[in-house]
Amino acid sequence: MQDKAQVNQAIAGVDAVISTLGPTENKPTYQVTAGTENIITAMRTAYAGW
Q: What is the extent of the structural domain holding 33? A: 4-46
Q: Radius of gyration (Cα) for the chain, nearest Å?
A: 11
* 28 pLDDT higher than 70: no
Distance of alpha carbon 17 from alpha carbon 28, whole angstroms:
22
* 1 pLDDT higher than 90: no
Q: How many domains does the chain have?
A: 1
For the ranges 2-6, 9-13, 31-35, 36-40, which has the lowest average pLDDT? 31-35
* DSSP string of 24-38, one letter each residue: SS--TTSHHHHHHHH
Q: Given this model, what pLDDT does residue 5 score?
A: 93
Contacts (Cβ under 8 Å, ≥6 apart) of 39 = 1, 7, 11, 17, 19
* 27 pLDDT higher than 70: no
Distance of alpha carbon 50 from alpha carbon 3, whole angstroms:
25
pLDDT confidence of 41, banded at 50, 70, 90? very high
Mean pLDDT of 29-39: 82
